[in-house]
Structure 1
Amino acid sequence: MLVLNATYEPINVCTVRRATVLLLKDKAEVVEVGSVDLHWATGSLPRPVVIRLVTYVRVPRDSHKRKITRRAVFARDGWMCQYCGARTSLTVDHVIPRSKGGGSGWDNIVAACAPCNRRKADRLPHQIHMHPRTKPHTPGAHIFIQLASPTIPATWRQYLPQAA
C-alpha cells in the first residue's frame, strides 16, 4: 500500500495489515481501492491500494537520515553510469575521492560502471576530465518507494510524478 501524507505527498509503503489498522483507528482514509474486499469475522472493508494519513506527519528531510545504499544510488542515477552512460557492471564512485578529502554523502557518490571507476581511480574529476552527467543530490522519497516496491501499480503513478 502506498501511504500519502495529509498533503498527498508520498511518504512510505506499508503492508495491507498496517494500512487496515490505520484505517480502523481513523488515522488514515482510503484514497484508492483495489478490486477485492478484505473480509474478517465481523466485517469487511474495500482493500486499500493508496491511503492518506488524516493528520500531517513531519518527515525528516535531513540527508543523513536517508540511508545510502548501492541500490538507492543506482535508482537515483537511473541505473546508469554517470560518466559514460553504460548500464552494466555498476559500482559506486566517490566523485571527490575519499583519499582527497571527499565525503560519503549523497552529494559525492554516483553510479559508475567498473571500467569508468577503474579509469578514474583516486583522481579528481578535472584531472582526468571525467565529470558526472548530473550533479549528485539527495534523492526524493519516490526513489525509496520504488525500491520498497519494485513494481509500481498504475494507481500509484499519479501520486509519484517523477516515477510515472
Structure 2
Amino acid sequence: MSAVLVLNADCGPLHRVSLRHAIRMLFREVAVVHEAEPDARMGIYPIPTVVRLVSYVVTRWRHSRGPAWSRAGVLVRDGRRCGYCGGAASTIDHVVPRSRGGGNEWRNTVAACGRCNNRKGDRTPSEARMPLLVTPYAPTWALV
C-alpha cells in the first residue's frame, strides 16, 4: 500500500497515512481528494495521493519541537542506508554507545547494516576505525 499525504484545510502538509486510512477519511467526509492518479490495475477508480482536511486542525505543537526519536524514524531519515558502508541497513547504531552514556537521540544514532553494527560493537567510530559517511541530524516534520 502506498502512503497518502494529508494536507490541512489551508493546504499545509500534516503527515502521511496509509491508503486504507485515507479512504476511511474520505468515507467519513473529514477529507476530500486533493490529488489522485489513475489505478494501474483496473483503471476504474482514481487512487488518491493527496487528501485535504475539510476543517482546519491547529498544529502549534508541531513547530515547537521536531518529531520524537524512533528506530523506524532513523531508518527513514537515513534512507535505509548504512552510515558506515553505504549498504542496505536493517538496524540502528549508537555513535556514542549506550554503555558510555550515549542515548536514543537523533544526533547519536545512524542506520547500520548488521555486519557494520556488529563490527563496531561497543566502541566509538574512531576507536573502531569506521568513519561515518553521514552526519546524524534531527529531522523536521517535513522530512518524516
Same fold (TM over 0.5): yes
CA distance in 2 between counterparts of 1:30 and 1:118 reads: 46
Q: 1:67/1:95 Cα in 2 relative to 1: closer, same or farther (>3 Å)?
A: closer
Contact 2:62–2:141 (8 Å) recurs in 1: no
Q: 1:79/1:48 Cα in 2 relative to 1: closer, same or farther (>3 Å)?
A: closer
> Could you tell me the TM-score, scaled by structure 2's length?
0.68
Structure 1, unpaired ranges of 5+: 38-45, 145-164
Q: Which residue of 2 aligns with 1:17?
A: 24
Q: 1:10/1:131 Cα in 2 relative to 1: closer, same or farther (>3 Å)?
A: farther
Give the residue type in structure 2 aligned to 1:11.
H
CA distance in 1 between counterparts of 2:84 and 2:47 reads: 44
Please state whether the residue corresponding to 2:62 is helix, strand or coil: coil
Q: 1:47/1:22 Cα in 2 relative to 1: closer, same or farther (>3 Å)?
A: farther
Q: 1:109/1:10 Cα in 2 relative to 1: closer, same or farther (>3 Å)?
A: same
Please state whether the residue corresponding to 2:115 is helix, strand or coil: helix
Structure 2, unpaired ranges of 5+: 39-43
Superposition pairs of residues 40-119 of structure 1, within 5 angstroms: 48-53=48-53, 54-55=55-56, 57-58=58-59, 60=62, 62-63=65-66, 65-66=67-68, 68-69=70-71, 71-87=72-88, 90-119=90-119
Contact 2:5–2:13 (8 Å) recurs in 1: no
Give the residue type in structure 2 aligned to 1:4.
L
**Identity %, equivalent residues:** 38
Corresponding pairs, count? 129
Give the residue type in structure 1 aligned to 2:92.
V
Q: 1:87/1:105 Cα in 2 relative to 1: closer, same or farther (>3 Å)?
A: same
Residue 122 of structure 1 and its aligned partner are, at CA, apart by 1.1
CA distance in 2 between counterparts of 1:76 and 1:47 reads: 26
User: In proportion to residue count, which structure has more helix?
Assistant: 1
Give the residue type in structure 2 aligned to 1:12.
R
Q: 1:114/1:30 Cα in 2 relative to 1: closer, same or farther (>3 Å)?
A: closer
> 2:10 aligned with 1:4, yes or no?
no
User: What value does the CA root-mean-square deviation take over the aligned residues?
Assistant: 2.9
Residue 101 of structure 1 and its aligned partner are, at CA, apart by 0.9
Q: 1:29/1:93 Cα in 2 relative to 1: closer, same or farther (>3 Å)?
A: same
Residue 33 of structure 1 and its aligned partner are, at CA, apart by 4.1
